[in-house]
Amino acid sequence: QSGKEETPPPGGTDGKVKIYYMQKQGTQDYFLGEAKGAKDKAAALGIELVMVDLGNDTSKTLDAINTAAAQKANGIIIVVPDPSVGPAVVQAAKDKGIHLLTTDDQICVDKPKPADCSPDKIVPRIGFSGTQMGTEVGKKAAELYKAAGWSPAETAIIAAWKQDVTVCTDRVKAALPAFKAAGGPDLKLIEVGTDNTPPDAQTKVAATVTANRAVKNWIVWGCNDENVTGGVTALENAGYKVENIIGVGINGDLACKAWSAGKATGTKASLWLAGHEVGSLAVQSMYDKIKNNKDFEREAYAKTTMVTPDSYKAAGLTC
Amino acid sequence: MNRVQNLSLIGALAGVLAVFGILNDQYLSLSNLAVIGQAVTIAGLLAVVQTAVIICGGIDISVGSQAGLAAVVSSMVFAWTGDGLANGNAFAAIGVAIVVGAAGGVVNGVIIVYGRVNAIIATLAMLAAYKGIAQLISGGRAQGYLLTNDLFIFIARGSVLGVPAMIWILGIVALLVHLLLKTTDIGRNMYAIGGNAVAARLAGININKYIISVYMLVGAVAALAGIILAARSTAGHPTAGSEGLELKAITAAFLGGCAIAGGKGSIGGTLLAVTLLGALEIGLTVVGVNPFWQNVAQGALLVVAVVIQQRRTGDRAVGLPG
Amino acid sequence: MNRVQNLSLIGALAGVLAVFGILNDQYLSLSNLAVIGQAVTIAGLLAVVQTAVIICGGIDISVGSQAGLAAVVSSMVFAWTGDGLANGNAFAAIGVAIVVGAAGGVVNGVIIVYGRVNAIIATLAMLAAYKGIAQLISGGRAQGYLLTNDLFIFIARGSVLGVPAMIWILGIVALLVHLLLKTTDIGRNMYAIGGNAVAARLAGININKYIISVYMLVGAVAALAGIILAARSTAGHPTAGSEGLELKAITAAFLGGCAIAGGKGSIGGTLLAVTLLGALEIGLTVVGVNPFWQNVAQGALLVVAVVIQQRRTGDRAVGLPG
Amino acid sequence: MLGVAHLSKRFDPVQALDDVTLDFPGGTVTALLGENGAGKSTLVRIIDGEHLPDTGQVLLDGQPVGLHSPRDARRHGIRVIPQEPEIVPHVSVAENVYIGALSKGFLFHGASLRKRVEQHIARLGFERMLRPDTLGRDLTPAQRQLVEILRALTTPAKVIAFDEPTSSLSEHEVTALFTLIRRLRDEGLAIIYVSHRLAEIFQIADRIAVLRDGKVAGVVAAQETTERAVVSMMVGRDLTTMFARDHVATTEPVLEVDEVNGISLTVHAGEVVALAGLVGAGRSEFCRALAGDLPIRGGSIKVDGQPVTIKHPWHAIRAGIVYAPEERKAQALLLGRPVRDNIVLAVLNRLRRWRFVRRRDESELARHFVNRLNVRTPTVGQLVSKLSGGNQQKVVLARWLARQPRLLILDEPTRGIDVGAKAEIYQIIAGLARDGMGILVVSSELPEVLGLADRIAVMKDGRVTGVLGRAEASEEAILSLAMGES
Ligand SMILES: Nc1ncnc2c1ncn2[C@@H]1O[C@H](COP(=O)(O)OP(=O)(O)OP(=O)(O)O)[C@@H](O)[C@H]1O
Ligand SMILES: Nc1ncnc2c1ncn2[C@@H]1O[C@H](COP(=O)(O)OP(=O)(O)OP(=O)(O)O)[C@@H](O)[C@H]1O
Ligand SMILES: [Mg+2]
Ligand SMILES: [Mg+2]
């Protein structure tokens, strides 16, 4: 076979619902929450759910879809390791006649970059995109910056992320325009490449500070709390006071620890993503599709909250 | 010895298939076996050439990066020869990627032979370097879109006689390398070089040429693996091969009976080992084992498999095994 | 030979310091030198014990996972003995983590010695297994919050006589291992075991005991590294040590003069090598080199350093270097 | 036919060859003699293209040939059997023999190769010693040497250089080898033959060239000289006695072995017992069992009348049994370490305070043994790999003497060692016996066995087939027990 043959669309079900949920970086806190939400919902609905961790391996994605097909799964929910694998995922699911829903990251039916995709070709999705997250971060940073009353000449921004992870890049790149749109001035921006772990972020930011001793106040954002915590810690170690640091994280998992412990920290806010709800909603939507043939919504958003040391408890973030 | 090794691998594989076959009624279905086959293709290609280089007394840790580089290069050439994203010339894309891979292999070989650098250090260094080059030329982003092309679609999804194209590629490469090793003077000389480099040199074998050639072979096949990676994932991503592929390939080679000092190993053993690892991985996923347990299980089973293998040969437990 | 090696490392280090010192006037400032020192501490600790185990003819690829496991264990013990998140007993946390680390090392050693499993395969397998265990017990989540405790704060940020506490820890461990290797009969026997295991056995050395003990030492020190990692990142994350730390440690050991076959190497050389790698990494970051270039530069410089080293010794370029 | 002109080669600080000019005519066996370190192997390696000379050249039929690698030497029809056999461990003997000489292309065929090698083995009369399917790593040192010899026969050659081909062979194989060498000579080949066994030289050589300290000390026709004259040419002085026999064996048993692995044997204080036998007779195996390195099956062992259990080499050492193995480099020496570390390896536990090795005592002890055994080394800090074979052997001896053992087991103690060093080692052995030590020597060289031993136990197929006293011992008696023709 040349690989281009079409298979008939999905048939009815024998009543048994089997869903595969595939996640990139399944060992990260956010995705663990999402997995938990999915499992709880699946248990409540009494359906079979198989979780698969794809790591960052695009090739494993296709293996996992093939496995799901061989296992006669009815539906696949997926967070792709990289959006470029999207068309292959769509094609594979179509070949095998399996319903496809994505969470968190968008994929396109026929383009490797969702940004180039015509809206009707975007696969139905639940969650919050990297660009949306970055926008929230930029907005919050601008708000905190204005409240701090720093002079633009003495302030710089550190953006720390693993530069070959596309969704991280999307988040970070969206933050700056949002910062400016929310009234932030033109500040010196220093991009720092890390491997997305706190120790590495700390090392790299420490070195960056060396080269920028003149800066008095720092804004730190990045791909996630790991980068921001590492960066903020490096600044604190280098002698900067917490008042001179504005760290805005994503996910809240590490920020919340420092806040709970009652320590003053330069991490002033973090965008809490309720992974649990995304997972739960995704499983419910897939169930409705399989059982009742109810169409997916094109875009369903889950709740995200920008939390601060004062608000995180009320928002329901625990750690 | 080698037979014992292969027999215990077959035993372990049969055990894995049986256990998961009982736990899941779809596991032994033809379509799932094809999935296992596809899942092991990339690691299998790298393990096959890794076996060849380990037999020569070397090792290549940079294979994963080389595959990633080839993934990017092939997609970029495809994009350039086309409309900037897709619809390019697949043969040019594949050809350039394989030439770049072979050239990378030669660089590895030259560093090792003429630079007198230990193969582990040299290829560790090149692991970083090739990854960096792939990231640089691609800007860290996925490149091109390959699924507009029939050839790439065939590589990614086609099949012949019901067997997926990827598995055919692995089978053909493995067969060729097997024949090279077992039936040609070149292969026998490779065993001699790895077994005792001084003996080989005194026998008039041009060791340098062999070492550089085998690294070139590794580079070319790693590039082939990278092209398949790109075709499967529709686009070439610079970190495509970096998720521990080299460790998988090396693990399979050793598990399949290669000796770290060289001069020992077979393609059959390596393929068995890589299939065992793949069957295990898919099995654990199918049964829905939590990924954390999968790590523990894979590590533990690898140890158990090798221990059983070793017990069979009845070595004494003194010092470090060779 | 060893002296030549160390001299060329010192030369390379001086070169790196000079180049970056010229490019950036803050690079040679005391505070930046402290940053370099801190950046190399974790890899340095692992490299020091890696040197010990390579001298014995072994290798330990699982050090990164072991560090990650210790990071999780120490933070969890700290959380349990406290209020569930923080404010626990730091001594209990550190003690339990080190005991767990040492036990893990013993498991590695036993698998290698009594299971007759090649050290590379055994520790590769345990790399996956320890990572899985760390993820399992932590549920994959970062654990505890250590910076409520003075001891952990001291480890992470404290300094004595202007030198960061972390660097003191590395210095003390390195000195102890150095003394062990160079001045005790234990160290002598380790060199003997790695240099010629048969001769060592015939000389009455209990090789098994030595191998298991050295892996135990590796486990304990890797645990120490993990505790420092946890303290630095404020919480213990199960994958804390897995980002290529083992490769860094092994690279440093080989670059510092260890031989893959064992019996050769020194702590001084390893520390120089690890410092060289750290100075380079920080230098590239300070100068603002894009991380993709950093990969290329690090790989290339590693090759160049080793090639120069080898050229000095004047080996002929035939076959694989030892 | 083959000649070398003005060859010099320096390995700092040693001038291994110093302006050597020699010729090796076709149809002649030229023996190359000299003490350890005289430069014989260096000369042979230059002819093999393995070393490049600093100055001078190699001439073939009067024409200079550029030899840059062993490959070039092969192309010019030069074959060398190196001093240390180089064996590929994981392939068969057959492939080891044909290494580098397989026909090109997809022609490799195991069975036919095996048959060809079997024929070669039969032609040389080595059938009992060597099978074509055995894996390289399972070969004993003697078998390794046979493989090296067989290699030289696979490709047509004009010149063959044998660098100590018989150092681990016993009488029977030596005879077969000599038949072969004579045939090759009669076919017109130039043969270079290096050996430390003088008796052999006079059996096989037509001409004798002697090297001393890297220079040619003389070239003589074999018929026109005597052993004594050659030896004095080699060492630069007269060597009066090889074997010093002033020790007297007592009746006090040091070692009593009763049915251990089917062998019973007693060694008395002050006695030298030799174990003789053909290649693979099981002598080394028995000794390694006594040393705790191989499992002991059944029987009992007593040292000085006290029963001992030996499960690990450490048990043997503690009981006073020490073993110097037959393969110096592979089994005894730490090649990357200095002489000092090699000597003190087995006595570190006596040289330490707390766990710190006392540097001064260590060096003193090493120096003491270097002086006592006359080890030629600039300092005790010299890397042991830089010493010549004889001196390396003395370092191994020193290691064990430092333990002051009751029973010293020496497996092929003079393998590849020159006459001068040999005489010294014999004297050391005699001196140790005089001091009351029991000594068990494994040797494949009959004159050595006869000259050294008070009693000779002859082994065949893992059994002792007879014990000969001094009076009844002769080469014929030993050989007939060893070959089982009694
Ligand atoms: N690769 C080398 N590196 C350094 N020194 C060497 C090397 N090879 C030989 N030598 C030295 O050169 C000298 C001559 O050595 P060579 O091996 O030629 O002696 P030989 O006559 O063959 O001795 P033997 O009878 O012990 O084999 C010795 O002092 C030896 O230590
Ligand atoms: N490592 C080994 N593996 C397999 N067989 C072995 C091994 N070592 C020895 N043997 C076999 O055991 C038998 C006895 O060998 P041993 O070395 O004791 O003989 P030997 O009398 O010392 O002869 P040699 O002159 O060869 O040293 C031989 O048949 C030999 O092939
Ligand atoms: Mg010699
Ligand atoms: Mg023997």
Domain ranges of chain C: 2-312
Q: Model confidence over D73-112: pLDDT tens digits?
A: 988 999 999 888 899 988 899 989 988 877 776 566 777 8
Are the beta carbons of B156 and A88 separated by less than 8 Å?
yes
Are the beta carbons of C295 and B135 separated by less than 8 Å?
yes
- Give the number of the ligand closest to the Cα of residue D389: 1
> What's the CA gap between A73 and A13, in Å, rounded?
10
pLDDT at B1: 45
Residues from chain B contacting residue D106 (CB–CB below 8 Å): 179, 183-184
pLDDT at A11: 44
Per-residue pLDDT for D214 more than 50? yes
Per-residue pLDDT for D303 more than 70? yes
Per-residue pLDDT for B154 more than 50? yes
pLDDT at B287: 81
Q: Which of A197, A213, A263 sits opposite C147 (nearest CB)?
A: A263
Residues from chain B contacting residue A85 (CB–CB below 8 Å): 233-235
D102 touches chain C (CB under 8 A): no
Pair of tokens at residue D417? 């060692």
Pair of tokens at residue D9? 């080669």
Confidence of residue C107 (pLDDT cuts 50, 70, 90): very high
pLDDT at B60: 92
Q: Model confidence over B282-319: pLDDT tens digits?
A: 888 888 777 778 778 878 877 877 777 666 655 666 66
Q: Which fold has domain B2-312?
A: ABC transporter involved in vitamin B12 uptake, BtuC (1.10.3470)
Counting ligand 1 atoms within 8 A of each CB, the residue from D17, D18, D40 with the most, and so the one to mutate, is: D40
> What's the CA gap between C252 and C258, in Å, rounded?
9
The complex scores an ipTM of 0.80
Q: Model confidence over C271-291: pLDDT tens digits?
A: 999 999 889 888 888 888 887
Least confident of A118-127, B197-206, C236-245: C236-245
Quick check: do A and D touch, 3+ CB pairs under 8 A?
A: no
Are the beta carbons of A261 and C86 separated by less than 8 Å?
yes
Are the beta carbons of A67 and B232 separated by less than 8 Å?
no
Across the beta sheet with D407-411, the strand order is D321-324, D407-411, D438-442, D272-277, D455-460, D463-469
Are the beta carbons of D356 and C206 separated by less than 8 Å?
no
Question: In terms of Cα–Cα distance, which of C142, C102, C104 is closest to C125?
Answer: C104
Please give the helix or strand (H or E) that residue A157 lies within, else none. Answer: strand A155-161
Residues from chain B contacting residue D71 (CB–CB below 8 Å): 204-206
Are the beta carbons of A261 and C148 separated by less than 8 Å?
yes
Question: In terms of Cα–Cα distance, which of D128, D100, D129, D134 is closest to D114?
Answer: D134
Confidence of residue C242 (pLDDT cuts 50, 70, 90): low
B126 touches chain C (CB under 8 A): yes
pLDDT at B120: 79
Residues from chain C contacting residue D335 (CB–CB below 8 Å): 195-196
Non-local CB neighbours of B132 within 8 Å, separated by 6+ positions: C292, C293, C294, C295, C296, C297, C298, C299
B233 touches chain A (CB under 8 A): yes
Are the beta carbons of D336 and C264 separated by less than 8 Å?
yes
Are the beta carbons of B157 and A26 separated by less than 8 Å?
no
Phi, psi of C240 (to 5 degrees): -55, -45
Pair of tokens at residue D285? 């195996």
CA of D280 to the centre of ligand 2 (A): 5
pLDDT at C1: 45
Measured by CA distance, the residue closest to atom 19 of ligand 1 is D37
Per-residue pLDDT for C170 more than 90? yes
C113 touches chain B (CB under 8 A): yes
Interface test with C, best of B59, B276, B292, B309 (most C CBs within 10 A): B292
Query: Does the N-terminal peptide bond of residue D13 adopt cis geometry, omega within 30 degrees of 0?
Result: yes
Hey, is D398 helix, strand or coil?
helix
The mean pLDDT value for D402-419 works out to 88
Query: How many percent of chain B have pLDDT more than 90?
Result: 35
pLDDT at D408: 94
CA of D421 to the centre of ligand 1 (A): 15
- In whole angstroms, what separates CA D188 from the centre of its chain? 29
pLDDT at B149: 85
C95 touches chain B (CB under 8 A): no
Non-local CB neighbours of D308 within 8 Å, separated by 6+ positions: D301, D302, D315, D316, D319
Ligand 2 lined by D140 (C-beta under 6 Å): yes
CA of D289 to the centre of ligand 2 (A): 12
Instruction: Please report the atom of ligand 2 found closest to the CA of residue D412.
Output: 27
Confidence of residue B222 (pLDDT cuts 50, 70, 90): very high
For B:236-265, CB contacts with A below 8 A are 237-240, 242-243
Per-residue pLDDT for C214 more than 70? yes
- Give the number of the ligand closest to the Cα of residue C198: 2
Query: How many percent of chain C have pLDDT more than 90?
Result: 42
Phi, psi of A190 (to 5 degrees): -115, 120
DSSP sequence for B57-90: T---TTHHHHHHHHHHHHHHHHHHHTTSSSS--H
Beta-sheet pairing, A267-273 with A245-250:
parallel
pLDDT at A6: 57
Q: Which of C189, C202, C263 sits opposite D293 (nearest CB)?
A: C202
- A199 touches A230 (CB < 8 A): yes
Hey, is D198 helix, strand or coil?
helix
Contact partners for chain B, using 3 or more CB pairs closer than 8 A, are: A, C, D
Contact partners for chain D, using 3 or more CB pairs closer than 8 A, are: B, C
Read off the pTM. Answer: 0.83
Measured by CA distance, the residue closest to atom 4 of ligand 2 is D138
Are the beta carbons of A58 and B232 separated by less than 8 Å?
yes
pLDDT at D424: 86
CA of C282 to the centre of ligand 3 (A): 52
Confidence of residue C241 (pLDDT cuts 50, 70, 90): low
Per-residue pLDDT for C116 more than 60? yes
Are the beta carbons of B129 and C300 separated by less than 8 Å?
yes
Counting ligand 1 atoms within 8 A of each CB, the residue from D32, D81, D211, D388 with the most, and so the one to mutate, is: D388
pLDDT at D182: 92
D331 touches chain C (CB under 8 A): yes
The residue among C174 and C136 whose pLDDT is bigger is: C174
Give the 3-state secondary structure of chain C.
CHHHHHHHHHHHHHHHHHHHHHHCCCCCCHHHHHHHHHHHHHHHHHHHHHHHHHHCCCCCCCHHHHHHHHHHHHHHHHHHHCCCCCCCCHHHHHHHHHHHHHHHHHHHHHHHHCCCCCHHHHHHHHHHHHHHHHHHHHCCCCECCCCCCHHHHHHHHCEECCEEHHHHHHHHHHHHHHHHHHHEHHHHHHHHHHHCHHHHHHCCCCHHHHHHHHHHHHHHHHHHHHHHHHHHCCCECCCCCCCCHHHHHHHHHHHCCCCCCCCCCCHHHHHHHHHHHHHHHHHHHHCCCCHHHHHHHHHHHHHHHHHHHHHHHCCCCCCCCC
Q: What is the pLDDT along chain A (319 residues), one digit of tens a residue?
A: 666 665 544 444 556 788 899 988 766 778 888 888 889 988 988 888 888 888 777 778 888 888 888 888 889 999 988 888 888 888 888 888 889 999 888 888 888 788 788 888 888 888 887 888 899 999 999 999 999 889 999 999 999 998 878 778 888 999 999 999 988 889 999 998 888 888 888 888 988 888 888 899 999 999 988 899 889 988 988 889 999 999 999 988 888 888 887 778 889 999 988 888 888 888 988 888 888 888 887 777 777 788 888 888 888 877 7
Across the beta sheet with D300-303, the strand order is D263-268, D253-260, D300-303, D306-308
The mean pLDDT value for B227-251 works out to 80
Are the beta carbons of D106 and B200 separated by less than 8 Å?
no
Pair of tokens at residue B252? 């399979």
Residues from chain C contacting residue A213 (CB–CB below 8 Å): 26
pLDDT at D13: 64
Non-local CB neighbours of D405 within 8 Å, separated by 6+ positions: D317, D320, D321, D322, D437
Per-residue pLDDT for B255 more than 90? no
End-to-end CA distance of chain A: 52
Least confident of C176-185, D37-46, D235-244, D252-261: D235-244
> What's the CA gap between D84 and D341, in Å, rounded?
24
Across the beta sheet with D215-221, the strand order is D78-81, D159-163, D190-194, D28-33, D207-212, D215-221
The residue among C182 and B251 whose pLDDT is bigger is: C182
Query: CB within 6 Å of ligand 1 — which residues?
Result: D 11, 14, 16, 34, 36-42, 83, 386, 388-389, 416, 418
Instruction: Give the chain B residue whose CA is nearest to the CA of C61.
Output: B247
Confidence of residue B83 (pLDDT cuts 50, 70, 90): confident
